[in-house]
Amino acid sequence: MRNCDAPEAVVTIGVFDGVHTGHQALISQVVERAGELGISSGCVTFSPHPQEVLRPASAVAHLSTLDERLALIKGQGVDDVMLMEFTPSLAQLYPEDFIQLVLDRFQIRELWVGSDFALGRDRTGTPERLARIGQAEGFLVRPFSRVEALGSSVSSSRIRGLLQEGRVEEASQLLGRHYRLSGIVGEGDRRGRTLGFATANLTPTARLCVPKDGVYAVWGRSKAGHVHPGVTNVGVRPTFGGTERQIEVHLLDFEGDLYGDSLEVDFVARLRDELRFESVEKLIVQMKADVVETRRQLAASPAPSV
């Protein structure tokens, strides 16, 4: 039953992990259609990610933190974002009961969903079933075709795969922006200082997807909002006999202490594999070359806005 006090709206529903170009196209369509009808636009999303609840042992890494996801969705111009807590009981709801929860927030005029969308118990809330629910509740269901890029459909799982292969440039094309890792700078062994390359040891604040081990050209943004070019090493530091995977960020043209501060790192280009060098001296030579190549790569890539 509709909540008569709720705003009439064009609505979409999804996890929207990463808010990639496919998500952006869908949400933009919702906003545009709402404008044509002169009503509100709404988006329903979930936290935690459904896989963390339904299949915790095989839950995927995220492409964005919750705060980043909500900011990206709102950045598409949506009037209202409904964040639902995803629980086992929510997962067991029949589509009709789930839609009633949404109708408490929005008087749905049109519901836009991906053509392969499904929700509710056993994923029975397909576009076809939702259309039947819409007939009873007075709204239309509008299936939205997948967006394609680089020869295939854009999806969060495809982007994760690209990142796990180190293909950050292609991942950026599908995301519509550079992939970002955000976290807190922790205490490291400070070995980088002795080499002339002080590094910030980044610990992601959420279960974020970490690109394949290697060296990357990045943009880093500190808690103060200052943006610097940087070189990031993802890996175990084999030259020093390391075994624990770490994310080390060397910010260029930066002096200061970031320990305990938040740091955002945008991955622009993969420079090379992580290598084991015969000596520290040879490592330093390579790191200097990495800095030169990083500046060249970033010269063609605008810094993120503050």
What digits encode the pLDDT tens for the residues 221-235? 988 888 999 999 999
**pLDDT at res. 301:** 86
pLDDT in tens, the chain (306 residues): 666 788 899 999 999 999 999 999 999 999 999 999 999 999 999 999 988 998 888 878 999 999 999 999 999 999 999 999 999 999 999 999 999 999 999 999 999 998 889 998 989 999 999 999 999 999 999 999 889 888 889 999 999 999 999 999 999 999 999 999 999 998 765 555 555 678 889 998 878 999 999 999 999 998 888 899 999 999 988 777 777 889 999 999 887 778 888 999 999 999 999 888 888 888 889 999 999 999 999 998 888 765
225 CB neighbour count, 10 Å cutoff: 8
Where do the CATH 3.40.50.620 domains begin and end in the chain? Answer: 8-153
Write out pLDDT tens, residues 268-294.
Answer: 999 999 888 888 888 889 999 999 999
Count CB atoms within 10 A of the CB of residue 285.
Answer: 12
Domain with CATH 2.40.30.30 in the chain: 179-299
pLDDT at 43: 98
pLDDT at 21: 97
Q: How far is CA 30 from CA 7, 26, 69, 147, in A?
A: 15, 6, 17, 15
179-299 domain in CATH 2.30.40.10?
Answer: no
Structure confidence at residue 188 (pLDDT) = 61
Beta bridge partners of 84: 46
Q: Note the pLDDT of residue 77.
A: 97
State the SS3 of 198-217: CCEEEEECCCECCCCCEEEE
Domain covering 8-153, topology: Rossmann fold (3.40.50)
